[in-house]
Amino acid sequence: EAQLMESGGGLVQPGGSLRLSCVASEFTFNSYNMNWVRQAPGKGLEWVSYISSSSNTIYYADSVKGRFTISRDNAKNSLYLQMSSLRAEDTAVYYCSGTFDIWGQGTMVTVSS
C-alpha cells in the first residue's frame, strides 16, 4: 500500500524556521508530482505548494511565496518544505500528497511565542 509519512513539525517562535520532510514508500515516488497542503485548527484545507516529478516546475500559494521552499530528493523518496519567517497564521497540520490521491497523516506546526 502506498504510504507517505511527514515529520519535522513542532513549536516555533514567530519569525523562526522549520523544515518538514515527507518520506514515500510502496510506490514509484519519482514519477509522482507532489504537493503540500495545510489545515489550520478547525479550518478547511489550503493548498501550499506543488513540485513536479523532476523538480522542473514549482508553484506556491500567494500566502507562502517568498517564505517557503519546496524541494525533493528522488533518490531518497523524500519531499521537503523549508519554512522561514513563520507567522502565527502558518499554524496548521501540514500534509504531503502525491497528485492528491496519496496522503500522509500530517505533521503539526505551531507558531507561537
In the bound complex, what is the minimum distance in angstroms from residue 20's beta carbon to other proteins? 15
According to the binding rule CB under 8 A, does residue 37 interact with other proteins? Answer: yes
Cβ 81 vs Cβ 36: under 8 Å? yes
Q: Scanning residues 64 to 83, which ones bind other proteins (CB under 8 A)?
A: none
In the list 34, 95, 107, 111, the residue contacting other proteins (rule: CB under 8 A) is: 95
In the list 3, 7, 26, 45, the residue contacting other proteins (rule: CB under 8 A) is: 45
Task: Kindly state the cell numbers that stand for 27.
Answer: 510506490
d(CA 101, CA 5) in angstroms, rounded, equals: 14
According to the binding rule CB under 8 A, does residue 103 interact with other proteins? Answer: yes
In the list 5, 46, 78, 91, the residue contacting other proteins (rule: CB under 8 A) is: 46
Cβ 62 vs Cβ 79: under 8 Å? no
Site residue total, other proteins (CB under 8 A): 18
